[in-house]
């Protein structure tokens, strides 16, 4: 074979590989991720959608390089086969039909075994960044992810396809069947939707064939579920995630989840514990998967019924997504706080609360390959979302580092104090915690006073400031000052993320119309009339409409909804991007109706 023929064969093989990929991956992506997205939502594995255009482009690019590697291997294999070096044969009668079937299962067993051990080895820190980091860019995989490998990993992935034809007699039809089975299996494993039916993981034999949830959990949780075709190596080696079967079955039980007449979820309190002065944690056990598969830092809204008076209050989630099999809310009593004080004094184990699904724009989605430095700053109960973020990073981003600056009045008001001590002892190279106490003389293992510009400058000068991500949550006056300090130190706006919960005085505006609002959220449609001078949110809450909200000042984005009919005027907007505004999103806490009919939809109802 001359060099020209060699490259012509590679180009032909490359085109053939891409055709196979397009024939398998693209139809599944188009059906499940585009046209059938709403219909198949009921069987989506990760209820919190994390994949975006960046991931799709990344996957397509590396899939292209993967198939170039595969094509080179194929050309060499076919050349060696033409010279008679392989054991590939074409006449079934050469070895009979029995060997045809047996050889197919031998190939699957050997390929599966090789994949398990090589895959597991590529997760070792010394090898990971050179081989497997690229593939784990997608924690929420799609069919496009199936062959998104670094070229070095693509070589390993194709090794069995190149070696086995030299070791055992293989009919050409078996090789094609193997390729079809492998490609279909790989696409389904990365589909993001569970196509294997309810009960699959319970049948004696079928449970050994990996379902889509099995590999999806690997992308989400990283260290476990390494299998390719069959689950037995994970079961034998103890690397299968313990709740795999439960997660698979829960996908089909979502329609049976209890909801209130208002469309809110009903969660039962399993534990209530004191965290610090005036702070307590409510724990819910056996929660639906959407309350375990959220983004760290998000919050939800609770409906509180106080002697017939309905209040809606928003609290950050303190549990760690995809690690804790429960949901926790850590709440601090507020002086004069009607809802928080009521929950602290009257809520008991066994009670049920009506809650919304997790939401909010202050969050992180970990990537196991990340090597970031996070500077987390919290004041008082603002530690709640930060705590969830830190626990998530420690679990799912083992190469990232975190510095926490936590301000309180006294040591007795430090929430999660014991847990932070445990984490710093367990992860000394990954987590550093600095406590600031403003009202305690000679504090032990803490700094007397407030978090200042000097405090920030010390950290920024120790590290490359462009490589630090800043997350702030606490009182408005504190976070405003710290953002000013960070800006002074040259930190760009895009690097600073803030969550803010404040109580504001609601003011009336004269330029607004009375309007009939139709609000679709949580699977239900509510209709109500706005009152002159009041925002859509104010009018809705006055009439017990469960509109999502938090700060009521246009800073947190919790009340973001899409306006599909009518016009509004927003008094303030510090959250919505130009794209959000172009797509019709509004902040209901800032929106005054300008037409007599308004239709709005929550993002989870679109």
- For the cut 80, the answer to whether the pLDDT of residue 446 exceeds it is yes
Which one, of 392, 378, 382, lies nearest residue 279 by Cα?
A: 382
Instruction: Give the pLDDT confidence score for residue 503 in this predicted structure.
Output: 41
Q: pLDDT tens, 370-397?
A: 889 999 999 999 999 999 999 999 998 8
Radius of gyration of the chain (CA): 28
- Domains, the chain, ordered by start: 3-193 (no CATH), 257-355 (2.40.30.10), 373-499 (3.40.50.80), 516-605 (3.10.20.30)
**Which residues of 81-188 form beta strands (DSSP E)?**
88-89, 170-171
Give how far Cα 84 sits from Cα of 77, 88, 178, 179, 521, Å: 11, 9, 21, 22, 66
Instruction: Give the pLDDT confidence score for residue 389 in this predicted structure.
Output: 97
Instruction: Give the pLDDT confidence score for residue 557 in this predicted structure.
Output: 78
How crowded is residue 488: how many other Cβ atoms within 10 Å of its Cβ?
11
What share of the chain in percent tops pLDDT 70? 96
Phi, psi dihedrals of residue 518, rounded to the nearest 5°: -110, 115
DSSP 389-455: HHHHHHHH-TT-EEEEEEEESSGGG-TTHHHHHHHHHH-TTTEEEEEEESS-SS-TTSEES---HHH
- For the cut 90, the answer to whether the pLDDT of residue 272 exceeds it is yes
Res. 21 pLDDT band, cuts 50 70 90 = very high
Averaged over 92-113, what is the pLDDT? 96
3-state secondary structure of 205: coil
Give how far Cα 503 sits from Cα of 278, 318, 368, 412, 569, Å: 18, 21, 37, 25, 22
The two three-digit tokens of residue 377, written as one number: 């700053």
The two three-digit tokens of residue 569, written as one number: 């005027």
Averaged over 13-33, what is the pLDDT? 95
- For the cut 70, the answer to whether the pLDDT of residue 504 exceeds it is no
Which one, of 414, 433, 410, 412, lies nearest residue 422 by Cα?
A: 433
CA distance 178 to 136: 25
The number of angstroms, rounded, from the C-alpha of 290 to the middle of its chain's C-alpha atoms is 11
Q: pLDDT tens, 190-221?
A: 999 999 999 999 999 999 999 999 999 999 88
Which one, of 60, 27, 75, 355, lies nearest residue 187 by Cα?
A: 27
CA distance 24 to 535: 50
- For the cut 60, the answer to whether the pLDDT of residue 501 exceeds it is no
- Using the structure block, give the residue that is written with the tokens 């990993």: 153
Residue 336 or residue 601, greater confidence: 601
DSSP 248-301: HHHHTTGGGS-B-TTS-EEEEEEEEEEEETTEEEEEEES--GGGTSS-BT-EEE
Averaged over 91-102, what is the pLDDT? 95
Give how far Cα 189 sits from Cα of 122, 227, 290, Å: 19, 10, 21
3-state secondary structure of 222: coil
Instruction: Give the pLDDT confidence score for residue 359 in this predicted structure.
Output: 82
Would you call 292 exposed, middle or buried from its count of C-beta atoms within 10 A (0-12, 13-18, 19+)? buried
Instruction: Give the pLDDT confidence score for residue 537 in this predicted structure.
Output: 93
CA distance 53 to 321: 23
CA distance 600 to 575: 18
- For the cut 60, the answer to whether the pLDDT of residue 505 exceeds it is no
**Under 8 Å between Cβ of 482 and 456:** yes
CA distance 51 to 430: 27
Contacts 24+ apart (CB under 8 A), 482-486: 482/377, 482/451, 482/456, 485/452, 485/453, 485/456, 486/456
**Under 8 Å between Cβ of 516 and 529:** yes
Instruction: Give the pLDDT confidence score for residue 1 in this predicted structure.
Output: 64
Residues near 562 by Cβ (< 8 Å), separated by ≥ 6? 583, 584, 585, 586, 600, 601, 602, 603, 606
Instruction: Give the pLDDT confidence score for residue 462 in this predicted structure.
Output: 87
Name the β-bridge partners of 598: 517
Instruction: Give the pLDDT confidence score for residue 578 in this predicted structure.
Output: 73
Q: pLDDT tens, 299-357?
A: 988 889 999 888 888 899 999 998 888 999 999 988 888 899 999 999 999 999 999 88
- For the cut 80, the answer to whether the pLDDT of residue 256 exceeds it is no
Instruction: Give the pLDDT confidence score for residue 509 in this predicted structure.
Output: 42
Is the torsion defined by CA of 552, 300, 384, 223 positive or negative?
A: negative
What share of the chain in percent tops pLDDT 90? 69
The two three-digit tokens of residue 227, written as one number: 């299998």
Res. 433 pLDDT band, cuts 50 70 90 = very high
Res. 510 pLDDT band, cuts 50 70 90 = very low
Residue 424 or residue 52, greater confidence: 424
Instruction: Give the H or E element holding residue 247.
Output: helix 244-251
**Under 8 Å between Cβ of 297 and 437:** no
DSSP 61-100: HHHHHHHHHHHHHHHHHHHHHHTT-S-EE--GGGTHHHHH
């Amino acid at each position: 074979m001359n060099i020209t023929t060699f490259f012509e064969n590679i180009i032909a093989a490359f085109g053939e590989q891409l055709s196979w990929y397009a024939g398998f991956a693209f139809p599944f992506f188009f059906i499940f991720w585009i046209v059938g997205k709403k219909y198949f939502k009921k069987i989506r594995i990760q209820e919190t959608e994390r994949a975006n255009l960046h991931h799709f482009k990344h996957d397509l690019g590396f899939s292209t390089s993967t198939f170039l590697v595969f094509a080179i291997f194929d050309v060499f294999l076919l050349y060696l086969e033409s010279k008679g070096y392989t054991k590939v044969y074409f006449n079934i009668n050469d070895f009979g039909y029995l060997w045809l079937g047996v050889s197919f299962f031998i190939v699957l067993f050997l390929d599966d075994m090789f994949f398990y051990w090589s895959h597991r080895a590529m997760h070792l820190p010394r090898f990971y960044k050179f081989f497997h980091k690229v593939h784990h860019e997608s924690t929420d995989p799609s069919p496009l992810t199936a062959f998104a490998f670094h070229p070095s990993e693509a070589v390993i992935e194709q090794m069995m396809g190149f070696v086995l034809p030299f070791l055992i007699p293989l009919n050409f039809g078996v090789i094609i069947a193997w390729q079809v089975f492998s490609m279909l299996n790989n696409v389904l494993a990365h589909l993001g939707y569970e196509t294997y039916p309810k009960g699959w993981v319970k049948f004696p034999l079928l449970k050994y064939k990996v379902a889509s949830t099995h590999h999806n959990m690997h992308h989400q949780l990283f260290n476990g579920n390494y299998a390719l075709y069959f689950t037995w190596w994970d079961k034998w080696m103890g690397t299968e995630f313990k709740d795999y079967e439960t997660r698979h079955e829960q996908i089909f039980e979502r329609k049976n989840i209890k909801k209130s007449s208002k469309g809110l979820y009903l969660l039962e309190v399993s534990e209530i514990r004191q965290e610090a002065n005036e702070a307590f944690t409510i724990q819910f056990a056996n929660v639906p998967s959407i309350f375990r598969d959220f983004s760290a830092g998000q919050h939800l809204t609770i409906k509180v019924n106080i002697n017939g008076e309905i209040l809606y209050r928003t609290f950050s989630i303190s549990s760690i997504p995809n690690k804790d099999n429960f949901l926790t809310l850590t709440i601090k009593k507020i002086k004069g706080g009607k809802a928080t004080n009521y929950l602290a004094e009257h809520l008991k184990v066994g009670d049920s609360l009506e809650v919304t699904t997790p939401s909010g724009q202050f969050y992180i989605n970990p990537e196991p390959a990340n090597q970031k430095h996070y500077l987390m700053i919290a004041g008082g109960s603002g530690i709640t979302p930060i705590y969830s973020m830190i626990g998530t990073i420690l679990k799912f981003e083992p190469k990232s580092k975190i510095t926490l600056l936590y301000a309180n009045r006294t040591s007795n008001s430090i929430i999660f104090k014991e847990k932070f001590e445990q984490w710093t002892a367990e992860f000394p190279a990954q987590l550093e915690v600095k406590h600031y106490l403003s009202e305690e003389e000679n504090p032990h293992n803490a700094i007397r006073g407030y978090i200042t510009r000097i405090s920030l400058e010390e950290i920024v000068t120790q590290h490359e400031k462009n490589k630090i991500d800043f997350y702030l949550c606490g009182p408005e006056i504190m976070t405003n000052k710290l953002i000013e300090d960070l800006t002074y130190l040259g930190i760009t706006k895009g690097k600073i993320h803030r969550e803010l919960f404040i109580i504001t005085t609601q003011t009336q505006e004269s330029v607004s119309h009375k309007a009939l609002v139709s609000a679709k959220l949580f699977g239900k449609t509510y209709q109500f009339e706005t009152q002159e001078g009041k925002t859509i949110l104010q009018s809705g809450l006055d009439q017990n409409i469960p509109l999502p909200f938090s700060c009521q000042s246009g800073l947190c984005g919790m009340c973001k909804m899409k306006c599909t009919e009518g016009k509004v005027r927003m008094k303030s907007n510090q959250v919505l991007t130009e794209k959000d505004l172009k797509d019709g999103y509004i902040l209901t806490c800032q929106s005054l109706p300008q037409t007599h009919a308004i239709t709005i939809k929550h993002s989870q109802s679109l």
